[in-house]
Chain A
Amino acid sequence: MYQRERERERERDYREEMARSTGKDAQALFHSLRSAYAATPTTLKIIDLYMGFAVFTALIQVVYMAIVGSFPFNSFLSGVLSCVGTAILAVCLRIQVNKDNKEFKDLPPERAFADFVLCNLVLHLVIMNFLG
């Protein structure tokens, strides 16, 4: 009987230790992510902010559609896809402008930005046509 109680205590201690260690791991992971991200250059952080804003707008639109209904479906589609599209194009720009990316080191950032503007132009032309 004593033995079984001791086993149960050992199991409980083991589980608590695992939970504590995963909690500590999560905290350590969070800290290292934060510190690694803080080291990225400001230009890239601005692009990331823009991307986050676009995704946030898309989420707001989806929530609105869930509340109000999807009647002019083409407007909903064009709104959400324009937000998602600008986010993706921002990611592409970030990839091309990032100095750590060895594949794009001979691409001048002005060319990357010009491509970004062109693609956005086409995207928004299509959006305005589809908005209805």
Chain B
Amino acid sequence: MAAAAKAGEATLRHAFGNVLSFFILLLIGVLAFSIRLFSVIKYESVIHEFDPYFNYRVTQFLTKNGIYDFWNWFDDRTWYPLGRVIGGTVYPGLTLTAGTIWWLLNSLNIPLSVETVCVFTAPIFSAFASWATYLLTKEVKGAGAGLTAAALLAMVPSYISRSVAGSYDNEAVAIFALIITFYLYIKTLNTGSLFYATLNAIAYFYMVCSWGGYTFIINLIPMHVLLCIVTGRYSSRLYIAYAPLVVLGTLLAALVPVVGFNAVMTSEHFASFLVFIILHVVALVYYIKGILSPKMFKVAVTLVVSVGLVVCCAVIAILVALVASSPTKGWSGRSLSLLDPTYASKYIPIIASVSEHQPPTWPSYFMDINVLAFLVPAGIIACFLPLSDASSFVVLYIVTSVYFSGVMVRLMLVFAPAACIMSGIALSQAFDVFTRSIKFQLLRILGFSEADAGDGSSANVVPENDAVKVDKSEETIKERPSRKNKKKEKEQMEKAQAEKTSAKSKTEKRLLVLPMELSVIGLLLLVFMGAFYVVHCVWAAAEAYSAPSIVLTSYTHEGLHVFDDFREAYAWLRHNTEVDDKVASWWDYGYQTTAMANRTVIVDNNTWNNTHIATVGTAMSSPEKAAWEIFNSLDVKYVLVVFGGLVGYPSDDINKFLWMVRIGGGVFPHIKEPDYLVGLLLLFVETDGKGFDRVRRTEIGKKYFKLTHFEEVRQS
């Protein structure tokens, strides 16, 4: 009767817990969505920055022309006169996702425009990402840690910066794909079910479609498998988790046109194949160990080792020769710049010139993950007690992502989910200890007996088990000398054990429990820390990361001015020039020009052709006649230049000028950087007569000069 009642209580508590979890998750989703809406409220529902405009243009094309034309699209309005094969060089995941959502909504007669769907894709997927974090952390440590981690991820500023409403970029869906792929991998590892292995491969396919950072997954998972094998945690579940993923994953990755045969030929994927082979060797060894007797197994080992070693050395020699024959050892330029941080500045100045590819500063860590920076080490320790396959995976994830985030500030985004998971685990454990202490102390103060106190909290089971184990070993050691009457001794032993267990567990419980005041203060301090975190996140989302760089604000002595110069300039281009006119500018503005002005550009943000960019850079840094000749050879009719000295806009073309010189000088040796450091050559500047540059706070050198080969058409 008592047992049935207890079981009924337990199921009721479980049901209540599940409902509570569901509502909490719903609220977390709403939080993740709404914290990213600041720019929509402060400015308008517009697409931000540069890259999202390209994705928006591609999505427009997809919704207008259908998927077959999208796969086969050759774009001749960019990289004039080379053009660009969009179908084969774009990661289609984001555009296909937004296109599907738009098509679904429209077929349900909810007529949202493509722009609205594009703007709000990122917040929706960040809500999904926090739910995926809940699932992942639940597999590692339990539901409490899961909820905490999900709440932390919903607000972490690093993720907000790349997924705010209007930031329609690959990372918006890629982070969700990353977390759900990891969740399905851990779930397969924990359950050994082939069904989850299939889902894992499909989630990996979605990740490959979405972002070039999928190489992180296909290198992290083999590293983890290797770690499990080396630390002796090989099990058949590991085989089921990894082997189908490699085969299916490679095939699915080869299906995406951007990756194509790179899936089997570049060094980024070799780690997965190597570990695949190692895993099979280990599986074979375990199988043979299982069916042979130990003596025969030793014989087998000596025989095989001698033969196998020779074969292995031969194979490794061939592999090393193959890999070493390519100059980059088979790695792509971007991956090499991650592994060797000095590579890009020496060989590929374009990669080095992008501001998001610079290493982060220490303050940016605190700005981007705030309080989590303190909780991550505690989480790592909590993962080690006890260490399971899943928790070793999360530890490996955070260590590798910390390294990569230190190389490139853009990769702080990959570090953020790991930090949230670790902090969620740490916070949840801390809350566990404090609340358990408070409950125990309260029950003790209110005068309940020891036995009831023990029954009440199931969380005490773990320390009790440890105490019992310690007891058993002690008892057996003591009882071994007197084994005259085995049965009698056993009975005595069991009784003594039971008594000792209850006594020891009481002492254990007292040792693992903190005094009441300490736990209350600790709990309050944790809540305050959480409050600081929330305040910081909301501030970061509102002030730091919600600026659509297409609309600028500036503080003059008259107050706040809002400038729409970019869009006005593009609109002027769109309405006052011929459809076939070519516009030249620095590559930053290429995507926006093709999307909003609908004119052909020479270079854009894809930066796949260094020589073409160097040509434009040379033209920008040469005197008028030489520049005119270069632009004439490219059929250019209009040149777009951005100057921010009048309003205090710091990231204008003058700031980028030295990069133009460096990149141009990399291909055309007559442009030498030292020539430009002393006397800045300004192509054209037209001010209201004052000649003061508000960004660099200096007077402009050559003020009144006439343009002979160029004509100023418009100035805003």
Contact = CB atoms under 8 A, between A and B. Distances in A.
Nearest to A123: B248
A26 B300 CA distance: 8
A130 B292 contact: no
B36 to A, nearest CB: 34
Contact of A92 (B201, B244, B290, B296): B244
Interface of chain B: mostly helix, strand, loop or mixed:
helix
A88 B86 CA distance: 36
Interface string A77-108: 11001001100110111011000110110010
A32 B201 contact: no
A112 B302 CA distance: 36
A88 B243 contact: yes
Contacts of A37: 291
A29 B235 contact: no
A119 B252 contact: no
Interface string B263-288: 01000000000000000000100001
A115 B193 contact: yes
Q: Looking at B202, B254, B302, which has the most chain A CB atoms within 10 Å of its CB?
A: B254
Contacts of A119: 194-195, 197-198, 244, 248
Interface string A97-132: 000110110010000100110110011001101100
Contact of B292 (A33, A84, A100): A33
A107 B252 CA distance: 29
Contact of A25 (B240, B251, B254, B303): B303
A89 B194 contact: yes
Q: Looking at A78, A85, A127, which has the most chain B CB atoms within 10 Å of its CB?
A: A85
B251 A130 contact: yes
B295 to A, nearest CB: 9
B299 A28 contact: yes
B218 to A, nearest CB: 15
B648 interface: no
B244 A36 contact: no
Interface string B228-257: 000000011101100110011011101100
A84 B198 contact: no
Interface string B190-208: 0011110110011000000
A123 B202 CA distance: 10
A85 B254 contact: no
A127 B192 contact: no
B288 to A, nearest CB: 7
Contacts of A14: none
A100 B290 contact: yes
B194 A116 contact: yes
A13 B345 CA distance: 67
B84 to A, nearest CB: 23
Given A96-B194, A119-B198, A126 B296 contact: no
A43 interface: no
B366 interface: no
B261 interface: yes
B243 A33 contact: no
Contacts of A103: 192, 235-237
Contacts of B283: 91
A129 B252 CA distance: 10
B640 to A, nearest CB: 42
Contacts of B291: 33, 36-37, 39-40
A95 B240 contact: yes
A94 B296 CA distance: 24
A115 to B, nearest CB: 4
Contact-residue size bin, chain B (C-beta under 8 Å from the other chain)? 35 or more
B179 to A, nearest CB: 22
Nearest to A32: B296
Nearest to A101: B236
A64 interface: no
B633 interface: no
Interface of chain A: mostly helix, strand, loop or mixed:
helix
Contacts of B202: 122
B255 A88 contact: no
B261 A126 contact: no
Nearest to B255: A130
Given A91-B239, A92-B239, A101-B236, A85 B244 contact: yes
A85 B194 CA distance: 13
A92 to B, nearest CB: 5
Contacts of B485: none
A68 to B, nearest CB: 18
Interface string A60-82: 00000000000001100110010
Contacts of A101: 236
A127 B255 CA distance: 9
Contacts of B255: 126, 129-130
Contact of A127 (B198, B201, B251): B251
Given A36-B292, A77-B264, A112-B194, A130 B254 contact: yes
Nearest to B302: A25
B293 interface: yes
Q: Looking at B247, B248, B299, B302, which has the most chain A CB atoms within 10 Å of its CB?
A: B247
B197 A81 contact: no
Q: Looking at A32, A33, A39, A74, which has the most chain B CB atoms within 10 Å of its CB?
A: A32
A103 B238 CA distance: 12
Contacts of B201: 122
Interface string A22-36: 100110110011001
Given A29-B303, A37-B291, A77 B254 contact: yes
User: Closest 4 interchain pairs by CB?
Assistant: A115-B194, A36-B291, A85-B247, A95-B236
Given A25-B302, A77-B254, A118-B195, 19 more contacts: A26-B303, A33-B288, A36-B292, A84-B247, A85-B247, A88-B247, A89-B194, A89-B244, A91-B243, A91-B283, A92-B194, A95-B236, A95-B239, A103-B235, A104-B236, A119-B197, A122-B202, A127-B251, A130-B255
29 contacts: A29-B299, A32-B293, A33-B292, A33-B296, A33-B300, A36-B291, A36-B292, A39-B291, A40-B291, A77-B254, A77-B264, A81-B251, A85-B244, A85-B251, A89-B244, A91-B243, A92-B243, A95-B239, A103-B235, A104-B192, A115-B193, A118-B194, A118-B198, A119-B244, A122-B201, A122-B202, A123-B248, A126-B252, A129-B255
